[in-house]
Structures are given as structure tokens and as C-alpha cells.
Structure 1
Amino acid sequence: SLARNVQDKAREAGVEILSCEGEESGEWVLVDLGDIVVHVMQPAVRSYYRLEELWGGKGPERVRRAASEAQQAIAGER
């Protein structure tokens, strides 16, 4: 799964996984890496909660930037 891949890459990069929740159902999995929290959601769950809207219209760009930084950190590019 995508969440499992995030955990594997984090471990490879030496990043501590503080917790992982929701793997049983797979509807919404949260991987807590400390400074980075990864949410992996099924499309219906993502539509329902619309987390991007929590940033008052600044969500999409802020989310893209954070996702890019997270990918770089996990890949060991930073």
C-alpha cells in the first residue's frame, strides 16, 4: 500500500515513525513522522473531509509544496 511505502522509505532515510493509524480499514491512513504527517485517503474519504480547505484557500499550493518537501526528505535529497 501507499502508506506502507511511505513507512518503508522513511525507515530507509532514517526517519522515525512516531505512529501509524488506520491501516486496518485502509480508508484513511495517517503516518506521523514528527515534522511531517502523511494522510493517505480513499477518494470518497478525501472528498468528504476536504482537508485542503483548512488552510483558507491557501491549501492546494501549500499542500503541493509540503508534499514535494516530504518526497525530497524521504528520498534523502535534503
Structure 2
Amino acid sequence: MNCNQITLDRLPVGSKANVAMLTSDGITRRRMLDLGVINGTEIEPLYRSPSGNPVAYLIRGAVIALRSDVSEKIVVSVS
């Protein structure tokens, strides 16, 4: 990870970033790829639940809720 990359779980609500890489493997990686979470995909956190987990993200026009154990394995580039 370089200086302008963070994990998705650290991206503030209302910010936008692009996927740089997935660090997960197995079925979780397959699910993320099936949802369109691939390199270059723009992701925006929309809402955080009162407990902070899960968070709703806008991904390719769909709103998808991800738990922090999944979003911490998605590295994004912020501009």
C-alpha cells in the first residue's frame, strides 16, 4: 500500500475512492468480484449503522452493505 491508499473500512462517509486491490481470498473474494468490486471500481460509503457495522456502500449503482471484516480487506486509492 502506498501513501494514498487506505482500507475501505477507514474511508469516511461521503468520500469516494477507487478499488486498488482485494486482499481477501476464497469465497469472500469471489463474492466481491461477483458484486463488481474490481480494480478501478468507484466506491462511496453512504451510511454507517448506529453501531458502526455494517456500512452501506454505493458500488456500480447498487447499494451494498458490507461488514468491517470484509471492507478491511478492500484497499482503495483516495485522490
TM-score, shorter chain, exceeding 0.5 = no
Going by fraction, where is helix more abundant, 1 or 2?
1
* Structure of greater Rg: 1
Q: TM-score, normalised by structure 2?
A: 0.30
Q: TM-score, normalised by structure 1?
A: 0.30
Structure ranking higher on relative contact order (CA contacts 8 Å, 6+ apart): 2
